[in-house]
Every structure is written in structure tokens, then in C-alpha cells.
């Protein structure tokens, strides 16, 4: 396992964001460090500005939660974060809530969402938190989410949820290869369905944002237009590792989507779109492929780890060489909230460690991006005209 993770580290890692820092707004890096002790869990937050202590039933003991100090005030703004119950999504939701936003935790399992809400509430009294069910592997669930959303404005849509390295090829409810279906097509459909809400927020002077969480792994990917669901013999390959062809294809689709969305939004609509690589982050993303930790592909639930101890052990090991989620989330948070990072500044860019960075050649190919957009429309059955 360590060998595998070490390999991944070498291939995809970046310097920790704090060292680069060009996007980061606040000097404060207040950190809530969770420490497991005996039968309970305690929170110790140190900051120049605040000291809060609390306790909660926590799933991911190595997740460190930031305070509001690093973000501009976000009161009155509405933020949707997919996969907000875990890892980067949970860290982002916590910080957005701490900054005063109304945060919608868009999660596929309402009970995990409720637990995440409790955890966030334990460290911040700010913000309003809502849990809303969203299974990105099921287009009817995306449709229901958007229907429940109604006519509310949406200031920030953070497309964060994802799966990686499912060892055996699997499909979504709609029959799409699962990495592509969850990581890209579900998010494509969600953005299309929430587009009126984003436009409404932008028209209200809010300068709305779409932040797509991709990966530097996209550089190993290619879009298989001849076999998009990777059904041909040998197409679904390396999927016991993070080099999984299906994962890298889906992460390339993420970058292409951000670029093409920016190209298709007419001038004058202030929705800024960007994509991000968070680096190598200590989360549960590796849960499908490790020999001593497995998750059910359909539900994401850990198999044979009822008390979460295997995941905790994994995260202790990962903690030696991976960036904590709260630190790694700084780039996506800055793109979501920094007033300077408006449409003109961001313009479809790909960001790594807080800096605009060239993506792969294929990710920069406008013809590929346009073709992928049209394919995504056909696959989802949604004509997405972002006007
Ligand atoms: N960790 C890294 O090193 C790394 C590196 C590069 C990019 N990223 C990207 O960062 C993003 C966040 O991942 P993470 O590292 O924070 O991993 P994580 O802790 O495993 O979080 C993934 C989230 O996605 C959700 N999700 C999975 N399938 C879903 C579905 N069908 N519908 C809705 N939500 C679903 C998960 O929900 P459940 O808990 O219910 O499964 C979970 O909340 C991903 O897009 C990933 O590709 C991570």
C-alpha cells in the first residue's frame, strides 16, 4: 500500500499550497487540529484571532478544520458543495460556513450529510447549513436536487465530489462508466440545471463562481471518443492504482468542462469558472483500491471497517506525506470567494497550489473541449446553453 501511495505521490504531488500562496487572501492560517484521545475526540483550534474548543463524533480524525479568518466574509451568499461530507468538500464547507455563508451540503447519503453538519456546527456557529441529497451517479437524483432548489440564487457551485480507482469497471444508474458518470457527467448535468440560479446570483451583483475540482492526474488522461465508457478490451486499465485510465479521463473531462463553459458564457454574465488540482491530499479518496481497505462502489460505504479504524490507520500513514484537506482546500476556496478572482481574472484557468498553471495539451484543446461538451449533452440528454 505504501509503495502504491509513494508512487502516486511522485507522479502527482505538488508543493503544499501554503508555500505558493498567490491566491490566498488572509495571513491567518487558523487550524483546528483534531486529536484523538482515549474514548473521546477533542478539538483544539489555535489562531491569532480565535480559540474555540469543542467535541463531536468524528469520522476522519486527521482532518484539520480551518477558521473563518482565511476567507472574506460570506454572509448572505449561498454555496453548494458536492461531496461535502468528507475530505476536501468537508474542509471547504466548514470554512465557507465559518465565513458566514449559507452552505448546502450536496451529498449522496443524508445520514453522512447530517453527521458532517454536526461536525461543522461543532467548530463554527456561523453560517446556515443545509443537507440535500444528490447522487451524481444517477441523473434523476440530479434532476430532483435541482427541482428542490427552485428559484434560489446560487453564488458558488463547487463541483468537488469524486471517485477514484474503482478496481473493476462499474457503471452509474444511467449506464455510464462510473468515474466519468460521477466525476464529470453528473456535475455537467448539475451545472446545467443550476445555471439559472448561478445567473440569478450573478445578476444580483454577486459575481457567481463555478469551481471544478480536477486533478493533475488529468495529464495522464485522454478522452476516448471512440469508447467513452471504456468498454473495449484493455480500455479500463491500471484501475487498482490512481493511474486508473477511467479516473484520468474523468479528471481531464473536468478541466475541459471548465474551459468550455467559460468559452460558452456570453460576455456580461459574471459567472467565473475555473478548475483546480488540490495536490495529494489526506482524504478517503483511496478507499476503493487498497488491499486492506475497500468500499462498496454503489454507496461508498467502507466494507469490513465498521468502526472506521482501518480508515483512521490509513489516514495516519497518509498524514506523513499528504497535505491535510484544510490546507489543500485553500485553492478551491480562494477561487470560490476571493473578490479579485472574478471572471476576467480567472477566465477558465486551471489552478494548482494557488497559481494559474498550464494544464495538459489535450485539456487546452478547444476542439476537444467542444466535442466533449456536445457528447456530454447527448449522454445526459441535456442541452446546456449557458446564456
Ligand atoms: N485526495 C487527493 O489526493 C486528490 C487529488 C486530486 C484530486 N482530488 C479530487 O478532490 C475531490 C474530493 O475528493 P477527496 O479527496 O476529498 O475524497 P473523499 O474524501 O473520498 O471525498 C469524495 C466525496 O465525493 C462523494 N461522492 C462519491 N460518489 C458520489 C456520488 N455518486 N454522488 C455524490 N457524491 C459522491 C463522496 O461521498 P461518500 O462519502 O458518500 O462516498 C465524498 O463526499 C475529488 O473530485 C477528487 O478527484 C483529490
Question: Residues 221-242: pLDDT tens digits?
Answer: 999 999 999 999 999 999 988 8
Predicted local distance difference test score (pLDDT) of residue 70: 64
pTM here is 0.87
Predicted local distance difference test score (pLDDT) of residue 50: 26
Q: Flag whether pLDDT at 260 surpasses 50.
A: yes
Q: How far is the CA of 84 from the centre of ligand 1 (A)?
A: 9
- Ligand 1 pocket, 219 CB below 6 A? no
Higher pLDDT among residues 230 and 299, named by residue: 230
Mutation pick for ligand 1 pocket among 16, 62, 65, 88 (CB with most ligand atoms within 8 Å): 88
Q: Which atom of ligand 1 is nearest to the CA of 322?
A: 3
* 273-to-79, 331, 346 alpha-carbon distances in Å: 14, 13, 7
- Using the Cα atoms of residue 65, residue 69, residue 70 and residue 72 in order, give the sign of their dihedral: positive
Predicted local distance difference test score (pLDDT) of residue 31: 22
Q: How far is the CA of 162 from the centre of ligand 1 (A)?
A: 4
- Ligand 1 pocket, 275 CB below 6 A? no
Q: Flag whether pLDDT at 4 surpasses 60.
A: no
Predicted local distance difference test score (pLDDT) of residue 291: 80
- Ligand 1 pocket, 81 CB below 6 A? no
Distance CA 194, CA 105 (A): 15
Predicted local distance difference test score (pLDDT) of residue 71: 78
The mean of the pLDDT values for the chain is 84
Higher pLDDT among residues 303 and 59, named by residue: 303
Q: How far is the CA of 267 from the centre of ligand 1 (A)?
A: 32
Nearest CA to ligand 1 atom 37: 83
Predicted local distance difference test score (pLDDT) of residue 74: 85
- Ligand 1 pocket, 164 CB below 6 A? yes
- Ligand 1 pocket, 324 CB below 6 A? no
Predicted local distance difference test score (pLDDT) of residue 66: 42
Calculate what percentage of the chain has a pLDDT beyond 90. Answer: 71
Residues recognised as catalytic: 247
Report all structural domains of the chain as residue ranges with CATH numbers, in order of start.
Answer: 2-26+70-380 (3.40.50.720)
Q: Flag whether pLDDT at 10 surpasses 70.
A: no
Instruction: Average the pLDDT over 173-180 and give the result.
Output: 98
Higher pLDDT among residues 42 and 303, named by residue: 303
Q: 113-137: per-residue pLDDT in tens?
A: 999 999 999 998 877 999 999 999 9
Instruction: Average the pLDDT over 139-157 and give the result.
Output: 97
Instruction: Average the pLDDT over 353-379 and give the result.
Output: 97
Q: How far is the CA of 194 from the centre of ligand 1 (A)?
A: 21
- Ligand 1 pocket, 162 CB below 6 A? yes
- Ligand 1 pocket, 163 CB below 6 A? yes
Q: Which atom of ligand 1 is nearest to the CA of 137?
A: 31
Mutation pick for ligand 1 pocket among 64, 119, 162 (CB with most ligand atoms within 8 Å): 162
Q: 23-67: per-residue pLDDT in tens?
A: 432 222 222 222 222 222 222 222 222 222 222 222 333 334 344
Q: How far is the CA of 353 from the centre of ligand 1 (A)?
A: 19
Q: Flag whether pLDDT at 11 surpasses 70.
A: no
Amino acid at each position: 500500500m505504501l509503495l502504491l501511495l509513494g508512487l502516486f505521490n511522485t507522479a502527482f504531488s505538488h508543493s503544499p499550497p501554503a508555500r505558493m500562496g498567490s491566491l490566498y487572501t488572509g495571513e491567518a492560517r487558523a487550524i483546528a487540529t483534531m486529536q484523538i484521545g482515549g474514548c473521546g475526540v477533542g478539538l483544539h483550534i489555535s489562531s491569532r484571532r480565535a480559540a474555540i474548543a469543542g467535541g463531536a463524533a468524528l469520522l476522519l480524525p486527521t482532518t484539520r478544520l480551518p477558521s473563518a479568518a482565511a476567507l472574506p466574509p460570506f454572509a448572505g451568499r449561498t454555496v453548494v458543495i458536492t461531496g461535502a461530507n468528507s475530505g476536501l468538500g468537508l474542509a471547504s464547507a466548514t470554512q465557507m460556513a465559518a465565513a458566514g455563508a449559507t452552505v448546502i451540503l450536496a451529498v449522496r447519503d443524508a445520514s453522512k450529510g447530517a453527521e458532517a453538519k454536526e461536525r461543522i456546527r461543532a467548530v463554527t456557529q456561523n453560517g446556515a447549513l443545509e443537507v440535500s441529497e444528490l447522487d451524481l451517479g444517477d441523473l434523476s437524483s440530479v434532476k430532483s436536487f435541482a427541482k428542490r432548489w427552485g428559484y434560489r440564487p446560487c453564488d458558488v457551485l463547487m463541483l468537488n465530489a469524486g471517485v477514484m480507482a474503482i478496481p473493476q469497471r462499474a457503471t452509474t444508474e444511467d449506464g455510464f462508466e462510473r468515474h466519468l458518470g460521477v466525476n464529470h457527467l453528473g456535475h455537467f448535468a448539475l451545472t446545467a440545471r443550476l445555471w439559472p440560479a448561478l445567473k440569478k446570483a450573478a445578476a444580483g451583483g454577486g459575481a457567481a463562481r463555478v469551481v471544478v475540482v480536477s486533478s493533475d492526474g488529468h495529464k495522464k488522461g485522454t478522452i476516448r471518443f471512440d469508447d467513452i465508457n471504456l468498454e473495449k478490451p484493455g480500455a479500463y486499465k491500471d484501475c487498482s492504482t490512481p493511474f486508473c485510465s477511467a479516473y484520468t479521463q474523468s479528471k481531464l473531462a473536468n478541466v475541459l468542462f471548465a474551459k468550455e463553459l467559460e468559452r460558452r458564457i456570453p460576455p456580461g454574465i459574471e459567472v467565473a469558472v475555473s478548475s483546480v488540482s488540490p495536490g495529494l491530499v489526506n482524504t478517503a479518496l483511496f478507499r476503493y483500491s487498497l488491499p486492506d481497505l475497500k468500499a462498496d462502489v454503489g454507496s461508498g460505504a467502507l466494507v469490513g471497517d465498521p468502526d472506521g479504524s482501518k480508515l483512521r490507520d490509513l489516514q495516519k500513514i497518509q498524514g506523513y506525506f499528504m497535505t491535510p484537506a484544510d490546507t489543500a482546500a485553500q485553492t478551491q476556496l480562494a477561487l470560490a470567494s476571493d473578490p479579485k478572482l472574478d471572471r476576467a481574472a480567472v477566465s477558465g484557468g486551471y489552478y494548482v497550489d494557488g497559481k494559474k498553471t498550464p494544464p495538459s495539451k489535450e485539456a487546452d484543446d478547444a476542439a476537444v473541449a467542444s466535442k466533449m461538451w456536445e457528447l456530454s449533452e447527448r449522454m445526459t440528454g441535456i442541452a446546456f446553453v449557458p446564456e
